Structure 1
Amino acid sequence: MKVQVLLGLHLDVASPKPISIEDTQPVPRLERLVRGVGGDGFVILTDMFSFLDPAHISSDLAGRLRALADDCEQLKLTRAPPMLLRTAPLLKNWVPTLTPAGVQMIGHTVGHPIHGDRMVMTTPLWWADPDGTWIRSLSRFYRLGPPAGPDHVRRMLELAGLGSSEGDA
């Protein structure tokens, strides 16, 4: 079985022998990054990580970052999340995922101020409670309910078009 890992290398995870760099096949974007763009040898990071392009700065980013910095100060001083956590949306049946923007959570929210009660993907995560009761994304705190079980993960993969149907082997 081949899987794609963060650096864009396809690895054969069923191989009985240790995997060497010769056994991997880089995806085209990684080859472009390693070789450089064009003949000048410069790497264009925004080709791989479009969120780094200042053209993608949203109108509310400064406010989100200020709120994040305020929460950072409070967490540093008290090691306890703010009172805001009491009204934070609940995220249940969640699974962490690694995206080009960072670690994000996919799960079902209850009481989200924008999305209500439905499946969402959070903005990138900044902090997580070591006891597993809350997370802080770029946008807000979430209270954590139970993580996704195997059935929920299969359903998420199906919704994303990555799951296999009953007839597939």
Structure 2
Amino acid sequence: MLDGVFSFVLLDTRDNSFIAARDAIGVTPLYIGWGIDGSVWISSEMKGLNDDCEHFEIFPPGHLYSSKQGGFKRWYNPPWFSEVIPSVPYDPLALRKAFEKAVIKRLMTDVPFGVLLSGGLDSSLVAAVTVRHLAGTKAAKRWGTKLHSFCVGLEVWN
């Protein structure tokens, strides 16, 4: 039932066992390494493992590691994961609803927010869905219904 962007380690101080997990698609960085003495190291930066581990690798997205079992287990197993060819016919309305639901789900905030526009279709669609949803929210009552947008410009060097 984990949902969102995360990576974490939980320590059970009763027996010093731990579990570590990473979000379903690997948004947050997480690495795992093994020391010469058999110790297991977990870090959000590879440089945290470089000096103390003889072997390290990227912690796989959608997995958890248990010190008791000594290995990885995939926790993220959506029904479509094993499908090579989609079995559900393309439904543009279902795609639209799923996209809107995904955007709206991420609009829960207690601080003002805006969108970073890349100039592509995806960021423009996110902004459009956000504007439609913003009007009836607590955030709109608090900060107004105008969506703030930003873009990054890079100077071209010849």
TM-score range, shorter chain: under 0.3
Q: TM-score, normalised by structure 1?
A: 0.27
Q: What is the TM-score of this pair, normalised by structure 2? A: 0.28
The higher radius of gyration belongs to 2
Greater fraction of residues in helix: 1
